[in-house]
């Protein structure tokens, strides 16, 4: 097994465009979602407006059933839009596509494939012109990044839930999406594993700076990871209730965040919102 | 130690785990804890087999007595005391000409089994002799462009078994080739599903006998010019059509109920149709497809006997039917031998499918 360095990847395969920008990456305009029911239409989301800048990490919190996941799957293109529009870099989205990578709540790996094959499934699709060796290198690089350098050839069904979600993270980053959508990716994990995976996620995100939208129930997770926390009102007709800027410098460590003076102010703000 | 470990793995894998325990018993490697499970897994089945044979023996004996008493009574009424006494003596002497015809006892069945094997050896020797005798002549005939002379004697019991296995595998293969692709198409397309649904619902419960008749009607006409014996063709097609439904339904269900998460992944990655089917849909429905194939094989083996019997196609079914028609003294015992052979082969086929399923399926817990 050859060790792949970061330079190899950035030099050979991926042109890493990184400049600070105020460019809007993801734009939700007057978004609406309606489910028709026998008793009339049920409006899940209405008048939802949100702009997410390039290289921004946004977390979304709100009560269960408020439509967070609906919103995310609409951005992913997996759920049709009832009104308004969603655009990525000014272009309206058309169905799902690899420009919007998704990390699902369940790891959703193909259990009959090895972790490497699972990552390659996406890489092969996104880099069809790269050589086989290059694609292998990309997949292995990201698996190394999530700490799975010893599990390339393990079947996904043999991995623990936490390890599977690591492969899920590697798979999502390896396809170099413009936007990364995370739907409560750590919701099913125990708190210890959750902490580990948050660290891995933030570490790899610091390098890649992929615009990210993440749904979470966990207030601490929301603050630790985000540049902005978006609070959604309870459904029906959910919309953005409040937005909180998190002004911690990056790269962050868990310790520095917890010891920061503003941490409890932020935390109180979020909890107050959720309790009202 | 390493050798026994691999043996254990292999035997467990094919579902015959108790062999390992049996081997450990003789090599003295058995732990005290394992003794309990050994008792349960080996001694209990053996005891129940002995009990079964014992009950069978007693049952056969009392049936034998009822039949014998009835025969003697009848002789007494019809022909008088002398004939009754003669018959009684004849039955007691064990002479085959006057034995009551009823359920054979285990020992009679065992004797018949041995006699069938002897018969097989005689026929095999006969065949070999025939082949030797005609070798030169056949070579000459082939050189002249004529058909070789083939052995046309009676097939032995073992020949019948192999013939039946051939028929069942041909039928199974046909079922697989029809049901799996069709099931995939039906599972993928709701339109095709509603087009085929009535068809499946109506034809699934049709009896093997009717399938045979249907195939007979069609094949007879199709092969109208052929002088070949079409009974094999008819019986394997009937077996295939009878047994394919489980695979068809399971494949369609497996394909249409692929985990939504996998489908979402395929959508996000924008996999093409071909890739989606071969990389996501098929592997994930493999456990269900194999469950279907396992049912198909066991149904194929089960209906085979009835269909061979109807089609007069050589094999175990025909063997059973001929023995029943034959009514010779040991015919009943031979039928029971065939019954056990059919059962044991059915069991082995099931194990074979389970082994293949374990091999190819990602989800080891699904295979039962």
pLDDT tens, position by position, A197-232: 999 999 999 988 999 999 998 899 999 999 999 999
Contact A155 B362 (CB under 8 A): yes
Residues of B in contact with A104 (CB under 8 A): 261, 264-265
pLDDT category at B33 given cuts 50, 70, 90 is low
Q: Do A121 and B363 touch (CB under 8 A)?
A: no
Q: What percent of chain A has pLDDT over 90?
A: 47
**What per-residue confidence (pLDDT) applies to B295?**
92
Closest residue in chain B to residue A121, using alpha carbons only: B269
pLDDT value at residue B157: 87
Would you call B269 and A125 a contact, using CB atoms and an 8 Å cutoff? yes
Nearest to B269 among A98, A106, A111 (CB): A98
Burial A177-202 (b: 16+ CB within 10 A, else e): bbbbbbbbbbeebeeebbbebbebbb
pLDDT value of position B367: 39
Pick from B261, B270, B280: which is nearest to A104 by CB?
A: B261
Q: How many degrees, rounded to 5, is the angle at CA B198 between CA B194 and CA B202?
A: 160
| DSSP label at residue A21 | -
In angstroms, what separates the C-alpha of B368 from chain A's closest C-alpha? 18
Say whether A242 sits in a helix, a strand or coil: strand
Instruction: Identify the CATH number of the domain defined by range B155-366.
Output: 1.10.3720.10
The span from the CA of B167 to the CA of B273, in Å, is: 37
Q: Residue A144's pLDDT is what? A: 92
ipTM of the complex: 0.82
Instruction: Extract the tokens encoding A8.
Output: 């190899």
Q: Tell me whether the omega of the peptide bond preceding residue A236 falls within 30 degrees of 0, making it cis.
A: yes
| Closest Cα in chain A to B359 | A112
pLDDT exceeds 60 at position B60? yes
Q: What is the DSSP letter of B276?
A: I
**Token output for B237:** 């097609």
Q: B334 near B340, Cβ under 8 Å?
A: no
Give the tokens for residue A195. Answer: 């902490």
> Could you tell me whether strands A240-245 and A228-232 are parallel, antiparallel, or unpaired per DSSP bridges?
antiparallel
Q: Is A41 exposed, middle or buried (0-12, 13-18, 19+ CB in 10 A)?
A: exposed
Domain extents for chain A? 23-111+161-166+175-275
For residue A166, pLDDT over 90 is answered with yes
Question: In angstroms, what CA-CA distances link B159 with B297, B301, B322?
Answer: 21, 17, 15
Tokens standing for residue A75 = 């951005």
A125 CB neighbours in chain B (<8 A) are: 269-271
Residue-wise burial string across B44-72, b where 16 or more C-beta atoms lie within 10 A, e elsewhere: eeeeeeeeeeeebeeebeeebeebbeebb
Least Cα distance to A194 among A232, A221, A233 occurs for A221
Q: How far is A141 from chain B (nearest CA, A)?
A: 19
Put simply, the answer to whether B283 touches A110 (Cβ < 8 Å) is yes
> What is the C-alpha separation between B316 and B162, in angstroms, rounded?
9
The verdict on whether omega for the bond into residue B279 sits within 30 degrees of 0, i.e. cis, is no
In this complex, the residue of B264, B283, B363 whose CB is nearest that of residue A78 is: B264
| C-alpha distances out from residue B229 to B210, B311, B313, Å | 21, 11, 9
- Maximal C-alpha separation, chain A: 61
Chain A neighbors of B269, CB-CB under 8 A: 98, 121-122, 125-126, 175
Structure tokens at B1: 């130690």
Provide the pLDDT confidence category of residue B88 given band limits of 50, 70 and 90.
confident
**Which of B269, B271, B290, B364 should be substituted to probe chain A, the one whose Cβ sees the most A Cβ atoms within 10 Å?**
B269
Instruction: Judge: B262–A108 Cβ closer than 8 Å, yes or no.
Output: yes
Which residues in chain A have Cβ-Cβ distances shorter than 8 Å to B268? 76-78, 96-98, 100-102
Determine the Cα–Cα distance for residues A94 and A101; give it in Å rounded to an integer: 14
DSSP string, A111-179: TTSBHHHHHHHHHHHH-TTS-HHHHHHHHHHHHHHTT-TT-TTSBGGGS-HHHHHHHHHHHHHHT--SE
Interface of B with A in 334-353 (CB under 8 A): none
Q: Show the tokens assigned to B366.
A: 């699904």
Facing residues of A28 across strands? A50, A86
SS3 A95: coil
The backbone torsions φ and ψ at residue A102, rounded to the nearest 5 degrees and listed phi first, read -125, 135
Interface contact flag, B268 A78, Cβ < 8 Å: yes
Average pLDDT, integer, range A224-248? 88
Q: How far is B37 from chain A (nearest CA, A)?
A: 28
Structure tokens at A256: 């520095």
> Using one digit for the tens of pLDDT, what is the confidence trace for B216-264?
899 888 888 777 778 888 889 999 999 999 999 999 999 999 988 899 9
- Considering chain B, what is the average pLDDT of its residues? 84
Under 8 Å between Cβ of B154 and B119: no
CB-side neighbour CA atoms (13 Å) of B257:
10
pLDDT tops 80 at residue A126: yes
Counts of helices then strands in chain B (DSSP H, E): 15, 0
Q: Are A89 and A66 in contact (CB under 8 A)?
A: no
Q: What is the CA radius of gyration of chain A?
A: 19
Residues of A with Cβ-Cβ distance to B259 under 8 angstroms: 108
Residue A1 above 70 pLDDT? Answer: no
Round to whole Å and give the CA distance between B320 and B313. 12
- Please judge whether A110 and B265 are an interchain contact, meaning their C-beta atoms are less than 8 angstroms apart: yes
Sequence length of chain A is 276
Which chain B residues in 239-278 lie under 8 Å from chain A, judged by CB atoms?
Answer: 259, 261-262, 264-265, 267-271
Give strand pairing partners of B88.
none
Q: What is the token pair recorded at B278? A: 């071969």
pLDDT-above-70 percentage for chain B: 89
Chain B CB contacts of A117 below 8 Å: none
Taking residues A5-26, report their average pLDDT. 57
Which of chain B's residues have a Cβ under 8 Å away from the Cβ of A112? 283-284, 286, 362
Per DSSP, B49 falls in state H
Beta bridge partners of A87: A27, A92
Q: Residues with Cβ < 8 Å from A103, sequence gap 6 or more?
A: A165, A168, A169, A172, A180, A181, A182, A183, A185
Architecture field, domain A23-111+161-166+175-275: 3-Layer(aba) Sandwich (3.40)
pLDDT in tens, B290-337: 999 999 999 999 998 888 888 888 889 889 888 888 877 788 899 999
Mean pLDDT for B14-35 is 63
Select from A77, A97, A108 the Cβ nearest to the Cβ of B265. A108
Q: Position of tokens 């029809």?
A: B178
Burial class (CB in 10 A: 0-12, 13-18, 19+), B259: middle
In this structure, chain B runs to a length of: 368
Tokens of A45: 């989301």
Q: Quote the minimal CA–CA distance from A237 to chain B in Å.
A: 26
Dist. CA A169–CA A53, nearest whole Å: 21
Predicted confidence band at A13 (pLDDT cuts at 50, 70, 90)? very low
Q: Are A98 and B286 in contact (CB < 8 Å)?
A: no
**Which of A78, A110, A111 is closest, CB to CB, to B267?**
A78
Closest-CA residue of chain A to B286: A112
Chain A, residues 139-158, CB within 8 A of chain B, namely: 155, 157
Which residues of chain B lie closer than 8 angstroms to A154, CB-CB?
none
Tell me the longest C-alpha to C-alpha distance in chain B: 95
The whole-angstrom separation of Cα B180 and Cα B244 is: 9
Pairwise CA distance, residues A152 & A117, whole Å: 8
């Amino acid at each position: 097994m050859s060790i792949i360095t970061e330079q190899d990847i950035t030099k050979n395969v991926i042109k890493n465009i990184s400049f600070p920008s105020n460019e809007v990456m993801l734009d939700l305009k007057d978004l609406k979602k309606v489910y028709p029911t026998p008793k009339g239409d049920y409006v899940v989301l209405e008048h939802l407006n949100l702009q997410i800048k390039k290289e921004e990490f946004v977390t979304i919190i709100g009560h269960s059933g408020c439509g967070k996941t609906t919103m995310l799957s609409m951005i992913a293109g997996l759920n049709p839009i009832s009104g308004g529009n969603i655009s990525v870099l000014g272009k309206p989205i058309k169905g799902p596509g690899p420009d919007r990578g998704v990390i699902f709540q369940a790891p959703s790996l193909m259990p009959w494939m090895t972790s490497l094959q699972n990552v390659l499934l996406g890489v092969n699709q996104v880099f069809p012109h790269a050589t086989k060796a290059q694609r292998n290198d990309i997949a292995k690089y990201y698996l190394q990044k999530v700490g799975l350098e010893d599990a390339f050839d393990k079947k996904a069904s043999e991995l623990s839930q936490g390890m599977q979600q690591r492969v899920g993270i590697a798979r999502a980053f390896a396809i170099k999406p413009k936007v990364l959508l995370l739907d409560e990716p750590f919701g099913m994990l125990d708190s210890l594993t959750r902490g580990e995976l948050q660290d891995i996620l933030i570490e790899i995100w610091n390098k890649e700076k992929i615009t990210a939208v993440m749904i979470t129930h966990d207030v601490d997770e929301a603050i630790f990871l985000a540049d902005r926390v978006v609070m959604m009102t309870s459904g029906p007709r959910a919309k953005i209730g409040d937005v909180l800027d998190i002004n911690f410098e990056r790269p962050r460590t868990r310790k520095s965040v917890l010891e920061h003076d503003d941490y409890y102010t932020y935390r109180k703000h979020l909890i107050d919102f959720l309790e009202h | 130690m390493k050798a026994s470990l691999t043996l254990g793995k292999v035997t467990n894998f094919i579902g015959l785990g108790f062999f390992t325990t049996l081997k450990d018993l003789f090599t003295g490697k058995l732990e005290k804890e394992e003794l309990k499970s050994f008792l349960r897994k080996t001694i209990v089945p053996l005891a129940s087999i002995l009990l079964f044979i014992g009950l069978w023996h007693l049952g056969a004996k009392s049936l034998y007595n009822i039949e014998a008493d009835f025969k003697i009574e009848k002789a007494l009424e019809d022909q008088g005391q002398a004939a009754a006494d003669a018959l009684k003596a004849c039955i007691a002497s064990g002479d085959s000409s006057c034995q009551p015809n009823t359920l054979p006892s285990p020992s009679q069945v065992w004797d018949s089994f041995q006699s069938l094997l002897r018969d097989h050896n005689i026929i095999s020797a006969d065949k070999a002799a025939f082949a030797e005798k005609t070798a030169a002549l056949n070579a000459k005939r082939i050189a002249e462009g004529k058909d070789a002379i083939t052995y046309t004697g009676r097939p032995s019991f073992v020949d019948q078994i192999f013939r039946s296995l051939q028929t069942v595998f041909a039928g199974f293969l046909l079922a697989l080739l029809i049901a799996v692709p069709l099931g995939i198409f039906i599972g993928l397309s709701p339109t095709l599903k509603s087009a085929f649904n009535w068809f499946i619902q109506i034809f699934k419960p049709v009896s093997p006998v009717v399938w045979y008749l249907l195939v007979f009607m069609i094949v007879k006409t199709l092969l109208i010019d052929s002088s070949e014996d079409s009974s094999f063709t008819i019986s394997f097609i009937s077996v295939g059509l009878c047994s394919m439904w489980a695979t068809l339904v399971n494949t369609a269900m497996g394909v249409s109920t692929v985990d939504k998460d996998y489908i979402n992944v395929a959508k996000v990655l924008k996999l093409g149709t071909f890739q989606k089917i071969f990389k996501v849909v098929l592997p994930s429905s493999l456990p269900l497809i194999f469950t279907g194939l396992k049912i198909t094989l066991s149904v194929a083996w089960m209906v085979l006997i009835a269909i061979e019997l109807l089609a007069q196609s050589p094999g175990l079914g025909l063997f059973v039917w001929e023995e029943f028609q034959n009514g010779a003294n040991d015919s009943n015992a031979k039928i029971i031998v065939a019954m056990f052979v059919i059962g044991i082969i059915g069991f082995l086929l099931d194990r074979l499918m389970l082994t293949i399923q374990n091999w190819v399926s990602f989800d080891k817990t699904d295979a039962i």
